[in-house]
Chain A
Amino acid sequence: MLKLLNKYAEKLVAHGLCSPGEPLVGGVNDAVIWNRPDPRAAELEKIIAALNINSIVCARPAEPFFSILNEHCHRSGAEFVPEDTETRTFLHSIPVARSMTAAEIVPLLQKRKGCVVEGHGVVAFGTVSPEQAFVVFSSIIFSAFVKFFVDYAYSQYAGTPDLVVAAMLPEVLAAYDTFLPAAARVDLERGVFSEEDAIFRAMAHAGQATVDARMVDSFFGNISYFAGDTVYISQTGSSLDELAGCIDACPLDNSASTGITASSELVAHRDIYLEGGNRAILHGHPKFSVIMSMLCFEPACENRGKCHIKCDRERYVEDIPVIPGEVGTGPRGLSSTLPPAVLGRRGAIVYGHGVFTVGTKDFRDAFANLSKIETLCRESYMRIISGPAPG
């Protein structure tokens, strides 16, 4: 248990979400244990005692995330509701506590998997593993970040730019640059691969590189490679930086269902391969790509509010299509919208969700395009907010 607590405490730091020494992670079986002593532990143990949970994370996020969270707290009542996919499917809403007390936090956690405590950070729990708390923690930060920038761009567009945010922006962007790693040279294997070992190695490296480049919040995202008659794909809920043992081989004809644990995007990946030409797919959640996908200045669109499933306009960030689609199967699912969109392109951005890129031989193009699309989106965003309000 202690090993797991330390693992996720270290991961929060390694992913740049917290400063070293900050995360406090507790685990419970028949007694509570902590990754380290901390004055907050006593109050948190009251929370644990009041809930049926097995783990808890409490930490103050690193900048710029901490300032962003606090800003959301200032502006919201009992909760705030980002509109990205992660919130929509998984968090539903982000509740806000005003003090680090069990009395205030317990009622929030009775309903939701995590909450923000104004001026303190995030408290989140798990019922089978501290990994859940880690995931909720990083999801809250991701969603809050996206909402911060999306709201600001819309305020600008409306001709009433949010002055508080405008004043914060230089520092927030500078801190975000510090959060992003210095562009390291990434050497990914050259393909085509046919041996399982080579495939697994290439996938593991590309996954790790994506996490290192901070283009995915680790738990989400997925990756696959196509060889022979088989799609090799990361398992559902696997971390792209921990792919060893977490890749399923799924035969095209579905003749084995071992891949029942494969990513929910298996069908979308498979259909992309069936369209021909591609061998590698990489899917991450780079933040400005998600932000840009949610900025649509189409006046009076009857689908507004339902863009993530209903959008029927052709939208692009330069040559990259922005498409609707919910996670998984079904008529409004990514499995129907994604494959036609990437046909003959570098990739596609899914509304409020993330980016899919492809490669014809190996992961080098897919990775490079993921990072190019993110750069493109950040530049586009900066242009939008620094230009005059359109119209």
Chain B
Amino acid sequence: MHGWTGKILTVNLTEQTTAELNLPVNVYQREIGGKGLCGALLFEHFCHAWNDPRMPLAFMTGPLNNTSSPTSGRMTVMSRSPLTGAVCDASVGGRLGTVLKRAGYDGVLVTGRSEQWCGLVITENGVAFQDAAHLTGLAVSDIHGRLLAAPGLQKGAHAMVGPAAENGVRYAAIVFDGHYFAGRGGLGLVMAEKKLKFLSVSGSLKTDVFDRDELKAAQEEIYRLVAASPVLTGDLGLANYGTGALYDLMRSRRMMPTNNFRETYFESAPSMNAYAYKKRYATKKFGCAGCHILCKKVGAQGDIIPEFETMSHFSALVGNTDLDAVVAANRLCNEAGMDTISAGVALATHAEITGRQMTPAAILTMLENIASGRGDAALLGQGALRYACEAGRPEVAMVSKGLEFPAYDPRGAYGMALAYATSTRGGCHLRAYPVAHEILRKPVATDRFSLSGKARIIKISEDMNAVVDSLTACKFLFFAASLEEYARALQGVTGMRTSAQALLKTGERIYYRERIMNARNGFTAEDDDIPVRFFQESGSSSESIQIAPIDREAFLQERAAYYRIRGLDAQGLPTPEKCQELALPC
């Protein structure tokens, strides 16, 4: 095999045993890797509850990892979400995906539950379990520091869970190499439930490439497109400002979620933009293995600069105007190992329900209490929806399928309304990311205030991103490149004949399988929805930009069109015909 190692490590934590799974090449070609492989391996187990030891937690790389294909350093983690009960996968950067391939594996499939806290050490020469009790109760940077200091682990890539996971926070994350998050939906809690504290991987093997010239040609095509992309490498783009580059744009388009989505315009935004961080913290760039864009930013004193979502939610969403407090809140979440988007929305929900404006100090205290599961805040750690339901105000939770919304108000980009609703993991922007065309004009601009025709666009984008997460590559790259160039890279690496459109078919199957998994767990059209606020209340309009409520009828019509295009029935459920067409069990 080229590209793939052909080996997946299976780990049974209950028995503390490991084995090797060797899938035939046609399965690899059909699933590619990452999200696709995860879905294939987890499919039959989705009947289990998230905390059932039989529910696997999968870490899968793709054929491009550990090759010179641009942004090939990412991987996918998947399990069932403790927050939503739905499929939950996260694409994560850092080094672990690359290094896992160097250790000789395409992925790790973890089941069971260890009796004591343990860690898993994977090298090209063998696999070992280690006691991890001494790492409990520590902040993420301490854990990471100790792993880096442990004999034999120094050169490794590491994934770990922090105190938030130990304390039952339903949006606890898995943290990779200190800074990279498998952030959303509580994958950290799944790992903690298994009493798996860390993964440490090292290796030096090479990944076989089928045709180096072909890969090099694809790489050049991609680099050329990246260099031509203002959003990526322009002076104001991601390479220079990080994802925070979006902050000013969201403000000027009047779609910045403010005060728990009651407003869409944040007065103080100009003093809290990416430029402000750059000046105040003298930022430098860093990023994932295998990436030349390097969209992550760190301050001169080592402060990690928040990503766009975090910047926005810890400022506009909670009405905070203190820049340092945003950085501190981000640090707190990083150290606890919890998702900043869900945490931000949980705080905003609390603020709306209690009617209390939050001071910077209150924000930080509350976050600390959430992470440690202390007092009333423990309920906020169960997610915005559970908290709002408990308070008798479920409509105040800005979630879809129980997953809190990121920093794009759907009233400012209607495609986002449909994308939030249909996303298999809930209120997530990354499945279809219509912001690309509705706001960033890529590949071309579409009318952001219209739902007409968006159903098919959303469907195609979901399929496309399913491929991107399976390759595995970085979604940001697709502001510039397309599957056309990546099909060539995949072909160069693996030797399989493919094309942009053939890959979209693969993506369609991967995504449809997730719909089946959710349907089997009781998800229906009722769950493919967004909060009523967006249909009833206006955002913050200006003279030239009207932020009106979304027309409910138009939304339902477009959702129905989406179901038809996706091959689902009127209830959003899989149909035998489509299952058969895609060769999936119904």
Contacts and interface: CB of A to CB of B under 8 A. Distances in A.
A135 interface: yes
Interface stretch (B244-252, B344-352, B402-410, B523-531): B244-252
B248 A128 contact: no
Interface in A261-320: 261-264, 266-267, 270
B460 A267 contact: no
A327 B227 contact: yes
A49 to B, nearest CB: 12
Nearest to A265: B230
Nearest to A106: B501
A29 interface: yes
B353 interface: no
Contacts of B456: 28-30, 54
B514 interface: no
A268 B221 CA distance: 22
A328 B235 CA distance: 10
Contacts of B502: 110
Contacts, number: 159
B443 A132 contact: yes
Contacts of A30: 455-456, 561, 564-565
Given A29-B561, A260-B249, A270 B453 contact: no
B440 interface: yes
A131 interface: yes
B166 interface: no
Counting chain A CB atoms within 10 Å of each CB, the highest count among B227, B230, B251, B565 belongs to B230
A27 interface: yes
Contact of A257 (B233, B245, B441, B443): B245
Contacts of B501: 50-52, 109-111
Interface string B233-262: 111110011001111110110000000000
Contacts of A238: 441, 445
A386 interface: no
A126 B234 contact: no
Contact of A111 (B246, B444, B484, B505): B484
B227 A259 contact: no
A255 B272 CA distance: 11
A112 B274 CA distance: 37
B444 A329 contact: no
Interface string A362-375: 00000000000000
A238 B230 CA distance: 13
A250 B275 CA distance: 13
Interface in A22-70: 27-30, 50-54
B225 A89 contact: yes
B500 interface: yes
Interface string A108-127: 01111100000000000011
Contacts of A160: none
A224 interface: no
Contact of A254 (B221, B275, B444): B275
Interface string A54-95: 100000000000000000000000000000000011001000
A139 interface: no
A89 B244 CA distance: 27
Contacts of A101: none
A238 B445 CA distance: 8
A250 B236 contact: yes
Contacts of B270: 256
Interface string B254-289: 000000000000000010011100000000000000
B578 to A, nearest CB: 14
A135 to B, nearest CB: 7
A237 B499 contact: no
B193 interface: no
Nearest to B220: A88
Contact of B221 (A92, A255, A257, A330): A92
Contacts of A28: 456
Contacts of B452: 1, 29
Contact of B500 (A27, A110, A256, A262): A110
B275 A262 contact: no
Interface in B121-160: none
A128 B458 CA distance: 9
Interface in B422-457: 437, 439-446, 452-453, 455-457
A52 B463 contact: yes
Interface residues of A, number: 51
A357 interface: no
A257 B224 contact: no
Contact of B236 (A88, A113, A129, A266): A266
A269 to B, nearest CB: 11
Nearest to A235: B441
B460 A54 contact: yes
B469 interface: no
A125 B29 CA distance: 27
Interface string B474-500: 000000000010010000000000011
B248 A326 contact: no
A1 B453 contact: yes
B228 interface: yes
Contact of B487 (A88, A111, A129, A266): A111
A257 B453 contact: no
A161 interface: no
Interface in B203-245: 221, 224-225, 227-231, 233-237, 240-241, 244-245
B479 to A, nearest CB: 10
Contacts of A333: 227
Nearest to A50: B501
Contacts of A109: 501
Given A30-B561, A52-B460, A260 B237 contact: yes
Contact of A54 (B221, B241, B453, B484): B453
Given A30-B564, A113-B484, A260-B236, A266 B455 contact: no
A50 B504 CA distance: 11
A258 to B, nearest CB: 4
A88 B224 contact: yes
Contacts of B249: 257-258, 260-261
Given A132-B444, A256-B273, A267-B234, A111 B228 contact: no
A236 interface: yes
Interface string B41-67: 000000000000000000000000000
Contacts of B437: 128-129
Contacts of A50: 501
B138 to A, nearest CB: 37
Interface in B171-196: none
B227 A52 contact: no
A86 to B, nearest CB: 11
Counting chain B CB atoms within 10 Å of each CB, the highest count among A30, A127, A260, A329 belongs to A260
Counting chain A CB atoms within 10 Å of each CB, the highest count among B224, B229, B251, B446 belongs to B224
Contacts of A326: 224, 227-228
A318 B501 CA distance: 47
Contact of B245 (A126, A131, A260): A260
B500 to A, nearest CB: 6
A261 B460 contact: no
Given A52-B505, A110-B499, A135-B444, A29 B236 contact: no
9 closest residue pairs by CB, A with B: A110-B501, A327-B228, A110-B499, A328-B228, A30-B561, A328-B227, A257-B236, A52-B504, A258-B248
14 contacts: A27-B453, A89-B224, A92-B484, A129-B437, A129-B446, A236-B230, A255-B275, A257-B237, A257-B246, A258-B251, A260-B245, A260-B440, A266-B235, A328-B234
Interface of B: 221, 224-225, 227-231, 233-237, 240-241, 244-249, 251-252, 270, 273-275, 437, 439-446, 452-453, 455-457, 459-461, 463, 484, 487, 499-502, 504-505, 508, 561, 564-565
Given A29-B455, A261-B441, A326-B224, 12 more contacts: A1-B453, A29-B452, A89-B225, A110-B501, A113-B484, A238-B441, A257-B247, A257-B248, A260-B231, A261-B440, A266-B234, A326-B227
